[in-house]
Amino acid sequence: MLNIKKGASSHSAYDLRDPNGEIIESHTLAVLVDNESGVLARVIGLFSGRGYNIESLTVAEVDHQGHRSRITVVTTGTAPVIEQIKAQLGRLVPVHEVHDLTVEGPAVQRELALFKVAGKGDQRIEALRLAEIFRANVVDSTLESFVFEITGTPEKIDAFAELMRPLGLREIARTGVAALARGA
């Protein structure tokens, strides 16, 4: 079995993937459910009970009159595993719709994150400069630290975090992915 490092892709001149192995993919699922107690626990129980991983999870009521909530889950697995997850979610009683935004067409994904960065002197100036480049807003400031607010794709959030680490990154709070299909 090959141990493939993150970042190896089929576009590489040196494709190291096992051609007979199944590819693990990340999928964003949007699940419309009844907004009642215990529904989130049942949906999440489906994942944990079968050993499926959840990379991101967001939940909010989207229809006040119909008492419906939208659960957005980012999960990983092989194509058959993703199909099994969607089928099992669709069979749960409080679930009305399951959409795989990854395969249904273009989708918009965004995440909100807060970063606490502590630093003085040049590090403080560099943190502010990078925040401006990434369009992060300063939402709190003391003489010792900043709290930055940033929205964007998960990749943008990760890139900002990597640049802030050597500048005094102390804490991160992330909301998880919110996603909608593009178009009508």
Q: For residues 96 and 113, state if they share a domain.
A: no
2 domain residue, yes or no: no
Task: Tell me which residue of 126, 133, 171 sits closest to 152, measured CA to CA.
Answer: 133
pLDDT given for residue 73 in this prediction? 96
pLDDT at 122: 93
User: For residue 68, what pLDDT is reported?
Assistant: 96
* Structural domain ending residue among the three candidates 39, 73, 100: 100
pLDDT at 16 (0 to 100): 57
Q: State the pLDDT at residue 22.
A: 82
- Which domain, by its residues, includes 45? 25-100
| Binned average pLDDT, 10 residues per bin, the chain of 184 residues | 50 56 90 94 91 93 95 94 94 93 94 96 95 97 96 96 97 95 88
* 96 and 62 Cβ atoms separated by less than 8 Å: no
CA distance 126 to 132: 10
> What is the total count of domains within the chain?
2
In a domain, residue 6? The reply is: no
Whole-angstrom distance, CA of residue 157 vs CA of residue 169: 13
